[in-house]
Amino acid sequence: MDGTSQSLEQPSTKSGHGSPNNAQDAKPRLMLMGLRRSGKSSIASVVFHKMPPNETLFLESTTRIQKDSIHSFMDFQVWDFPGQLEYLEPSFDLENIFGSLGALVWVIDAQDDYLDSVARLNRTILTVQQFYPNINIEVFIHKVDGLSDEYRTDTFQDIVQLISDELSDAGYENAPVHYYLTSIYDYSVFEAFSKVIQKLIPNLSTLENLINTLANNCGFEKTYLFDVLSKIYIASDTRPVDMSCYEMCSDYIDVIVDISELYSWDHPDRKPKGDQNQEAESHVVLHDETMIHLLEMNKYLCLVSVIRNPESKDKKGLIDMNCRTFQEALNDVFSRSWEQDQEQNRITEE
Ligand SMILES: Nc1nc2c(ncn2[C@@H]2O[C@H](COP(=O)(O)OP(=O)(O)O)[C@@H](O)[C@H]2O)c(=O)[nH]1
Ligand SMILES: [Mg+2]
């Protein structure tokens, strides 16, 4: 992501049909909802604006819908929806909120009494299921940093039970509801957001196939394709995820970004595709002989792999060649949407 813009807007109330700013609303949209103080603004700030978790203590309470446009490999919008807004009242234009929404992220404060929040979520899910059955409902059971392991599991099971009971009573057996344990004080919120975003990427399976092929050819143990600024991973090979591996890769990006920001100056003009020879590339071998390999793919994305097999580590040429081939394929996958974006920008600028 090379830039974000913020704007404060009043929630729209019912006002005739047709939305004038369709071009902008065509981006996948993601909405953060939940009760007050559940942690919505904190999550948005930590994940998309690199705010250190401790500083969220000083966030002011949000009173209007806050729309945040994220410009990255795929443009999308994150709406921070204040807990006290009564969106289920008839005066609210549901279409304006839920129409064209990709995912609804519901944040529950697990350190607090959550029954109210769950009841409200249930009402929301039923409405959404009725009119917009394609919206993914992502439930973040949040602030779990303060809970013991046992209490965490109990809370998780309790919440899942409360919601699925309500859903099956209403006849929705297969509603797209997913649950995550999250906290801004560790990587869990990035992991969860990665999963949420991945579901909105149209070419995900193509990307996963490409990464699987690459990982097999090079003997990588695990490979992630990261969005550099948010450190959300937008795809990975389909082997099981190992949290410590993910954390290590994510930390390594910070190291390389810091170094490149200190010593390189041509980031703003870098082309998304075409001739490339300025990407950061780096590897490091750790005390247990694990190698981390990082290769910047384009303006937004970088590929980070973990290599444990000693034979694979020596084949630097092979890794290099395969990663370049992957890079070309990746840029092909995304080039069409980038070209369309530029086209659209030109039209809106005129
Ligand atoms: N312990 C803990 N506190 C959190 C976490 N996320 C947010 N908070 C705190 O919860 C409070 C409310 O957060 P805020 O983002 O303003 O909530 P919002 O009203 O839903 O936007 C703040 O003091 C945050 O520091 C978390 O993961 N763990
Ligand atoms: Mg807020």
- Domains of the chain from N-terminus onward: 13-198 (3.40.50.300), 202-265+274-349 (3.30.450.190)
What value, to the nearest 5°, has the Cα angle with vertex 63 and ends 62 and 65?
85
Ligand 1 within 6 A of CB of 181: no
174-207: pLDDT as tens digits:
888 999 999 999 999 999 999 999 998 888 898 9
Ligand 1 within 6 A of CB of 38: yes
Ligand 1 within 6 A of CB of 203: no
71-105: pLDDT as tens digits:
777 777 888 887 667 777 777 777 877 887 889 99
Residue 13: predicted pLDDT: 35
Residue 317: predicted pLDDT: 87
The residue whose CA has the least distance to atom 26 of ligand 1 is 143
Burial of 159 (0-12, 13-18, 19+ CB in 10 A): buried
State the distance from the centre of ligand 1 to the C-alpha of 103, rounded, in angstroms.
21
6-50: pLDDT as tens digits:
333 333 333 333 333 333 345 678 889 999 899 999 999 999 888
